[in-house]
Amino acid sequence: MTLLWIALLLSLNALPQAPSTLSDSAKCFIAGTVLKAATGEPLKKARVVLQKQEPSAQPIVTITDATGHFSLKDIEPGRYRFWVERDGFVRTQYGQRSSQHPGVPLNLAPGQRLRDIVFRMVAGAVISGRILDDDLEPLARANVQVLRTVYAGGERRLASVARATTNDLGEYRLWGLPPGTYVLGATYARGMAFGSSGGARESQLTGTSATEESFGATYYSATTDPSRAAVIELHAGEEASRMDITLMRVRTFRIRGRVVNTVTGESTYNVSVYLQARGGPGSGRLLLPTAGNVKDAEGSFEIRGALPGSYTLVAQLSDEGQEFTAQQTVEVGNADLEGIQLVITRGMDLPGRVRIEGPSIALSKLEVWLQPKENIPFPSPNVSVKEDGSFLLKNVKGDSEVNVFQLPEGSYFKSARLGEDDVLERGLSTSRIPKGETLELVISGAGGRVDGVALNKDGQGVGGAAVILIPRSRETARLYKSTTTDQNGRYILQGIAPGEYKLFAWEDIETGAYRDPDFLRCYEDRGESLHVEENGRYTVELKVIPST
């Protein structure tokens, strides 16, 4: 299989390429070696990837030989991401300080030839063990997850970074993990693995009453509270074996109700019902597979194994390539929930138009998305814009934020209006959409631009520093801009909306930490204030905030 994959890759690289208008003297060349970090030995069959930082840019790929050597030729000048990857090792980016931080963009000047580039790949860590029931018997098809603390929306949360399912001996193995600290947890529902369905175990207690019990989400070692889970520190290439978890049995409850399909009026047998923990996958709770299908022609459904907590109950119907949903917030306490009705309705069709201020662009490259304010794991309405700037969003329901993706370089999302309503700031609500109105979006090509260099205390450029532009309106996520300095410490940010900002450069910062008000408060006086106007061009020399 490996030889076949390599042969296919080489054949793809050999496909005819569009003729280049560059002279041979302007083309660039890169050569180097990939080594094992632990021993310095050459690493063969590593995949070396160079990708230009432009929309839809195709990667340039090669494979290291038996001596770990690689070369890339006939490269256009420009700004690139450069990395190497191989099974059993942690993906390594050019200029990367650690596996948890981004690499350094590579700027290639016309005719530049780089030799003796060296990548040192760190072996991935492994966690292995068994998942057992309360009788210490192995559990097959238990779901095991490795989680780590990350920033999400300005808050620190546990997020799943790797998953596995146990075999018939209850064994699992999670491999290729970067060095760092982790939390380990497991869930189980009889007959269920990720993406499948099943129910909880029942146990008869007294008389005619029945109480259901299920294995609750259990963290290593022996706790159902993620904040009390043991922290597992992994080093490069280390295998933490015998990380066994005995799942703890807890009382669970059923949710029963009926789905009504008003979209097609047909049978609801093809409707799936899901229970999504409030707060979503980044909430710090393990992803427990809790789902069921409609049981009869009347639309009856039953979900078993629900733990106490706050959830969004979602019914999903697929019809002619579209997804239709109904959702309801439910609180599971100390009793079963009965009589819930989920009515699946067709949302409204919302026409729109994109208008460009400034130089004309290829409108068909733009995509309009509506991001639901309620975090549910299903596709949100999205559409590609036509050449004339028109688009039609189908099946629009609820409250959403309007987003436009694939904006051209230097442009920004200026306004979104629905009649007299400013939906760029307020968001879009179907309860406030007048009939016959068109969603009018304006993209301006007059975005501001700031460039410069990030320097250390000795006045030297710092490669790989995180440069963050933070708006005065800290809650408006679309206004933030970020980049990483190149190998010379230089940076460029463009497509900036007019407004007031602060500009920071950190030598080392955890991804997303700058959205945390408590974190940012410690550095407010280290940023450079910046007033941005349309078409404004600014050069700012930044003092890098050193890592602590």
- Are 6 and 114 in the same domain? yes
**Mean pLDDT computed over 206-226:** 71
What band does 193 get if pLDDT is binned at 50, 70 and 90? very low
Task: Note the residue count of the chain.
Answer: 548
| CB crowding 216-230: b at 16 or more within 10 Å, else e | bbbbbeeebebeebe
The pLDDT mean for the chain works out to 85
| Together in a domain, 135 and 226 | yes
Question: Same domain for 176 and 240?
Answer: yes
- Residues 506, 493, single domain; the answer is yes
Cβ neighbours around 290 below 10 Å, total: 27
pLDDT at 208: 34
> Within this chain, do residues 49 and 151 fall inside the same structural domain, yes or no?
no
pLDDT interval class at 207 (50, 70, 90): very low
CA 499/CA 472 separation, integer angstroms: 8
Q: Are both 131 and 111 inside the same structural domain?
A: no
Of the candidates 85, 63, 53, the residue with the CA atom closest to the CA atom of residue 12: 63
Q: Is residue 110 part of a domain?
A: yes
Same domain, 131 and 190: yes
**Percentage of the chain with pLDDT > 90?**
56
From 3-17, 93-107, 453-467, the region with the lowest mean pLDDT = 3-17
3-class DSSP assignment, residue 251: strand
- Angle value at C-alpha 316, between 311 and 322, nearest 5 degrees: 140
User: Residue 101 above 50 pLDDT?
Assistant: yes
Question: Is the pLDDT score of 196 beyond 60?
Answer: no
Are 267 and 297 spatial neighbours (Cβ–Cβ below 8 Å)?
yes
For residue 198, the model assigns a pLDDT of 32
- Token output for 315: 């019914």
238 occurs within a structural domain: yes
The DSSP letter of residue 477 is G
* Percent of the chain topping pLDDT 70: 87
* pLDDT one-digit tens code per residue, 262-296: 888 776 667 888 887 775 444 445 544 455 667 77
DSSP per-residue codes, 396-454: E-SEEEEEEESPPTT-EEEEEEETTEEHHHH-EEGGG--TT--EEEEEES--EEEEEEE
Higher pLDDT, 375 or 218: 218
The region, left, alpha or beta by phi > 0 then psi within -120 to 50, assigned to residue 248 is beta
Residue 190 lies inside a defined structural domain of this protein: yes
Question: Is residue 337 domain-resident?
Answer: yes
Structure tokens at 538: 């600014």
User: Of 444, 464, 497, which residue sits at a domain end?
Assistant: 444
* Cα–Cα distance for residue pair 135/300, rounded to 1 Å: 35
Q: Are the CB atoms for 303 and 273 separated by under 8 Å?
A: yes
Is residue 471's pLDDT more than 70?
yes
Q: Among 444, 471, 493, which residue terminates a domain? A: 444
Tokens 């790989």, located at residue:
464
Question: Residue 3 has what pLDDT?
Answer: 40
Indicate if the pLDDT at residue 21 is higher than 50. yes
152 plus 261 within the same structural domain: no
145 and 212 belong to one structural domain: yes
Q: Based on C-alpha coordinates, what's the Rg of the chain? A: 27
Does residue 117 register a pLDDT over 60? yes
> Distance between CA atoms of 60 and 26, rounded to whole angstroms?
18
Mean pLDDT in residue range 84-100: 90
pLDDT at 20 exceeding the cut of 80: no
Query: Can you give the CATH number for the domain in which 229 is found?
Result: 2.60.40.1120
What contacts 317, CB < 8 A, 6 or more positions away? 261, 263, 264, 268, 270, 271, 323, 324, 325, 344
**CATH code of 520's domain:** 2.60.40.10
The answer as to whether 289 is a domain residue is no
Residue 301: domain span: 255-273+296-344
Q: Which of 14-28, 167-181, 439-453, 501-515 shows the lowest per-residue confidence on average (mean pLDDT)?
A: 14-28
Could you tell me which residue, 113 or 436, shows the higher pLDDT? Answer: 113
pLDDT at residue 91 greater than cutoff 90: yes
Q: Does residue 365 sit within a domain? A: yes
Closest CA to 505 of 536, 484, 474: 484
Total of domains in the chain: 5
pLDDT of residue 4: 42
Instruction: Clarify whether residues 400 and 333 are in a common domain.
Output: no
- What residues contact 179, with CB distance under 8 A and at least 6 apart? 90, 98, 99, 122, 125, 234, 235, 236, 238
Structure tokens at 205: 């207690």
pLDDT of amino acid 455: 97
Lowest mean pLDDT among 12-21, 207-216, 514-523: 12-21
| Residue 72 in this model has a pLDDT that exceeds 70 | yes
For range 222-237, the mean pLDDT: 91
Report the helix count and the strand count for the chain, using DSSP H and E. 3, 43
Residue 153 and residue 239 in one domain: yes
Domain co-membership, 149 together with 229: yes
Distances from the Cα of 444 to the Cαs of 115, 411, 492, in angstroms? 42, 5, 19
Mean pLDDT computed over 74-99? 92
Task: Write down the pTM of the prediction.
Answer: 0.77
Could you tell me the two tokens for 468?
């963050």
Q: For position 434, what pLDDT does the model report?
A: 76
Quick one: pLDDT at residue 377?
A: 54
Q: Is a pLDDT exceeding 50 seen at residue 56?
A: yes
Angstrom CA distances, 238 to 38, 164, 178, 241, 326, stand at 12, 18, 10, 9, 46
Contacts 24+ apart (CB under 8 A), 462-465: 462/489, 462/505, 462/507, 462/544, 463/95, 463/104, 463/487, 463/488, 463/489, 464/95, 464/96, 464/97, 464/101, 464/102, 464/103, 464/104, 465/489, 465/491, 465/505, 465/506, 465/507, 465/544
* CATH number for the domain harbouring residue 428: 2.60.40
Tell me whether residue 286 is in a domain. Answer: no
- On whether the CB atoms of residues 440 and 355 are closer than 8 A, the answer is yes
Pick from 92, 14, 104: nearest CA to 60 = 14
Using omega within 30 degrees of 0 as the cis cutoff, is the peptide bond preceding 221 cis? yes
User: Given 426, 444, 462, which residue is the final one in a domain?
Assistant: 444
d(Cα 229, Cα 226) in Å, to the nearest integer?
A: 5
**Residue 533 forms part of a structural domain:** yes
pLDDT at 541: 97
What is the per-residue pLDDT across 317-327, written as a single tens digit (0 to 9) for each? 888 777 888 88
Q: For the segment 125-181, what is each residue's pLDDT rounded down to a tens digit?
A: 999 999 999 999 999 999 999 999 988 878 888 888 999 999 999 999 999 999 999
Average pLDDT over residues 400-425: 91
